[in-house]
Amino acid sequence: MKKEIKIRPFWYSDVWLFPKIITIITTLDTQGRLNAAPYSHIMQYDVMPKNPRMILGFRQSSHTFENIVATGEFVINCPRADHLDDMMQTARFWPEGVNELEHTGLTTIPSKKVRPPSIAECPQIAECTVDQIVRLDKSSGIVIGKIEALVFDEELIDMDRDERIVAMDLPIGLGDQNRKYYYHAKLHPENIVMHELQEPPDAMRGADTKTTMPWAEDAMKMLMGIPPGVRKMVTEQTEDWVKAKGHDVVTLELFHALAEEQGMGADFFDRFRDERKKKSG
């Protein structure tokens, strides 16, 4: 039998099991002193390249939130599982002005687009500036951060996801009990499973897409190469754009011009080719 429970403070962490990303956020205070602390309340917000953003939640009195409000800049660093002890060092309630990284084996490198430094040992880093701040009443401070740069260890960039997951070795946060005992999972290659997304029997119907104007054959072929989940959105946006430009047929040239304008060049469409099959022959 299922039972409803009372919703208490920190339900998202100590009751609701919410596997999450582990990060260490680096900021500078107004005097230029470095602060570092772990944060997991992080999700993608705007997924398109024009204005890529993440959404984050903070205790409003945390040094990190105060620094972000004061300076408008922060860096999200993702440590490997072998730095979980270092990450927990940075979680302690150190006094204001303490550089938590000095209590760890972690070192800094200059960031590419923002002033707070990045953590050298972290394979995946997002440098951000503030887009919006929302102070929830007697609750979290929400920051919508604009991603100024996504920075990776170079050797990871061209790896397939299965190789990259293993090479990055990012831990998964499993929340805490009593705000004291923090649980984490480490990924072991034998525990990683891959599922291939199958198309519905009638892919076009599954995508619920209808065209409202003629499409040249090669443009339609390109459209059908886009996964059904986003095909409807792409169809509508493309037709709106083509009409606004005064054309009455979607040609491949127009399709590419729109994609280029939205930051989705040829390399974007390459992502939908079946790389795995291509590699194995």
Rounded Cα distance between 257 and 275, Å, is: 24
Which residues of this protein are in contact with ligand FMN, per CB under 6 A?
22, 35, 37-41, 57-59, 62-64, 88, 91, 93, 173, 182
In degrees rounded to 5, what are phi and psi of residue 60? -65, -25
CB of 7 to ligand FMN, least distance (A): 18
Nearer to ligand FMN, 63 or 80 (CB): 63
CB of 34 to ligand FMN, least distance (A): 10
Sign of the C-alpha dihedral, residues 166, 168, 174, 176?
positive
Kindly give, in sequence order, each residue whose CB lies less than 8 Å from that of residue 138, ignoring residues fewer than 6 positions away.
Answer: none
234: closest CA among 254, 246, 247, 217?
Answer: 254
Nearer to ligand FMN, 57 or 123 (CB): 57
- List the structure tokens of 17: 């099991």
CB of 123 to ligand FMN, least distance (A): 18
130: closest CA among 82, 69, 76?
Answer: 69
Nearer to ligand FMN, 62 or 129 (CB): 62
Nearer to ligand FMN, 89 or 209 (CB): 89
The secondary structure element, H or E, covering residue 166 is helix 161-168
CB of 41 to ligand FMN, least distance (A): 3
CB of 253 to ligand FMN, least distance (A): 46
Nearer to ligand FMN, 39 or 255 (CB): 39
Residue type, 97: G
Q: In the beta sheet, which residues pair with residue 108?
A: 119
Nearer to ligand FMN, 88 or 136 (CB): 88
Rounded Cα distance between 49 and 147, Å, is: 9
CB of 140 to ligand FMN, least distance (A): 7
Rounded Cα distance between 114 and 207, Å, is: 40
Q: How far is CA 21 from CA 2, 56, 78, 81, 174, in A?
A: 28, 12, 8, 11, 9
CB of 184 to ligand FMN, least distance (A): 7
Are 115 and 104 in contact by the 8 Å Cβ rule? The answer is: no
Nearer to ligand FMN, 74 or 215 (CB): 74
Rounded Cα distance between 42 and 128, Å, is: 13
